[in-house]
Amino acid sequence: MNTELLISNITNPTLLFFILGVIAVNIKSDLSIPEQSVKFISLYLLFSIGFKGGQELSHSTFNADILYSLLFGIFIASIIPVYTFFLLKKKLGNENAGAIAASYGSVSAVTFVAASGFLESQNIHFGGHMVAVMALMESPAIVVGVILMELYSVTKTQKNSIKEIVKHSITNGSVLMILGSLVIGIISDSKQAEGIKPFTTDIFKGFLAIFLLEMGMVTAKRFASFKKYGLFVTLVAILLPLVNGSIVAIFSGFFFDDIGNRFMFAILAASASYIAVPAAMKLAAPKADPGLYIPMALGLTFPVNITAGMAIYFYLIFAF
């Protein structure tokens, strides 16, 4: 692997702020970011990436490539939960396996945003329709995870309909924000949209750095409660995303030519949801342990992707 690429990714200022957050917790610093500020920044990041994606789409003609991208994203989000569930259900039980499967089939908007910053640093463009792909990948994984839990449930006590689960995942705040911003970006007048460009573009990386500082602190706090689950789930949280992302990075070349889009597909396949899925699982799988699937996604998978993962997927796309 190109070590310069890995070093460049690790020394990215936004990632360094993530590491600072981890350090702050471990040295028991009183550093903290007000909860309302974090909520605002997270909404801003979703708004910015959604709106910019919508503007890109508004200048594009809906063609076969965009349609295939949407279908490919839905396929990834549907197939990953299936083999993840069967990999885990014997050791962790149906509900925990289903919740983890949904998490790894779904996506992390924050990882997507960090990946967009990575591509920008490499001066590589990706299609605005990839924002729509990301948004569409949230729900299928949740639905597949719930279906698998119901199919293999011993008690068959699950009462939540698939319709309720889909509705809950779509109306989740993060999903609604990015979908809404995407639609607004599409229908907005281009000249009028220029007026908010400094807000959507110029300050983006600064807000991302502060948000990743908070993510670093949250990761360090939640990872402590995760240790009791042992080596097996630790290896799953590290290796599963790397395998998923690497497979998609390689095989996406059979269907798509654009490097930026292939990279985004890889990062979407590798990422795990720790916002939309936990919210949905409170309704769908109340017995599943959030102290397991949230730290797996946030405490291990997220940092693995933004450190080594992105460099690996980027390398594989050029190699294949």
- Percent of the chain beyond pLDDT 70? 87
| Max Cα-Cα span within the chain | 58
The model's pLDDT over 80-97, given as tens digits with 9 standing for 90+, comes to 999 999 999 988 888 899
Instruction: Look up residue 121 and give its two tokens.
Output: 């640093």
Q: Determine the Cα–Cα distance for residues 213 and 210; give it in Å rounded to an integer.
A: 5
Q: What is the pLDDT of residue 244?
A: 97
Q: State the chain's mean pLDDT as an integer.
A: 83
Cα–Cα nearest to 302, from 261, 276, 274, 281 = 274
Mean pLDDT for 268-274 is 92
Question: Angle at CA 219, nearest 5°, toward 1 and 302?
Answer: 35
- Residues 165-218 have pLDDT tens digits of 666 656 766 667 777 887 888 888 878 878 887 888 778 888 888 887 887 887
Cα 55 from chain centre: 21
Q: Which pLDDT score, from 0 to 100, does residue 35 have? A: 85
Least confident of 49-53, 152-156, 276-280, 294-298: 152-156
CB 99, CB 293: distance < 8 Å? yes
Q: Which residues contact 101 (CB under 8 A, 6 or more apart)?
A: 80, 81, 82, 84, 85, 88, 141, 144, 145, 148
Average pLDDT over residues 234-255: 95
Rounded to whole angstroms, the Cα distance separating 272 from 298 reads: 8
Which value, to the nearest 10 degrees, does the dihedral of the CA atoms of residues 294, 103, 107, 69 take? 170
pLDDT at residue number 157: 47
Are the CB atoms for 314 and 6 separated by under 8 Å? no
115 vs 137: CA distance, rounded Å: 16
> What's the CA gap between 301 and 272, in Å, rounded?
7
Residue ranges of domains in the chain: 33-221+272-285
